[in-house]
Amino acid sequence: MIHPLPRIMIENAVKSALTEDLGRGGDATTRAVIDANLTAKVAIQARDNGIAAGLDVARYTFELMDTTLEIQMNKHDGDDIKKSDVLMTIEGRMHSILMAERVALNFLGRMCGIATLTNSMVEAAKPHTPRIACTRKTTPNLRLFEKHAVRCGGGSQHRLGLDDCIMIKDNHIAANGGNITQTLKRARDYAGHTTKIEIEVDTLDQLAEVLEIGIADIILLDNMSVEDLKTAVDIAQGKATLEASGGITLKTIAGIASTGVDVISIGALTHSVQNFDVGLDYIY
């Protein structure tokens, strides 16, 4: 079981999503056709096989709408789920259930999709065990949710934002006149003693230069072939953490993992994921 996201960290996003959906006048359809006093019991079910993520977010969505709803959790974030599994049941005012339904399912479907894809990548990399990491290529204002979903799928985190690591990319180097040494030294002078420094390289020659300078903690090997990645691991000899990145798919990850890199980062975990199919069904 994965620890849920603290509610204080997700409250504003969930409220904003509910407010967006309710618009200026609330749920016109429900008000028009459902008796205000009707109570019911519904179930959220998986319609495919995958990994659970976002269940606590979905629960909080219903609870924000109506604190009197009775919610039973049958699965938790990080659990394996099968088609037709009941993930949770909700009982109470049908008005409240219907008003929260779509927002809850939107969070749940996206987060389960991310967790499921992440888990597929982790499994495809076996028997090798590099960290499978997400990136900052996330949906605006939903990064915390999406990175939590990656963890639910067995993945790892890259930096959460611009402030928790120094990551030097090609444009940073270009803006310093192409001088890698100067760029790294400026990073070292700026960084606190707990801040790691990562730098992106495109060629084995750049890798060798960075290793000789000896400042970088992590070296990102951008869009390198499997053969070059193997050579990079041999050259580095454990002197820095090596991260492979660039266009990695379920078809290519096994070969990349076999090279011995420490981390494989995949933007597609969050920016190109297929929504996981979940639905809310009336019981009585």
200 is catalytic: yes
> Which residue in 56, 79, 200, 243 is the catalytic one?
200
Is the N-terminal amide bond of 127 cis, ω within 30° of 0?
yes
Q: Is 223 helix (H, G, I), strand (E, B) or coil?
A: coil
Q: Where are the alpha helices (DSSP H) in 6-85?
A: 7-22, 28-33, 55-65
Using alpha carbons, select from 265, 268, 155, 165 the residue that is nearest to residue 220.
265
48 is catalytic: no
Residues forming a β-bridge with 218:
198, 241
> Which residue in 169, 185, 212, 227 is the catalytic one?
169
137 is catalytic: yes
Q: Which two tokens stand for residue 254?
A: 């096994």
Q: Measure the N-to-C terminal CA separation of the chain; round to a whole number of Å.
A: 30
> Which residue in 7, 41, 75, 102 is the catalytic one?
102
> Which residue in 136, 137, 188, 196 is the catalytic one?
137
Q: Decide if 277 contacts 109 (C-beta within 8 A).
A: yes
The C-alpha atoms of residue 131 and residue 125 are separated, in whole angstroms, by: 10
> Which residue in 123, 222, 228, 277 is the catalytic one?
222
> Which residues carry out catalysis?
102, 137, 169, 200, 222
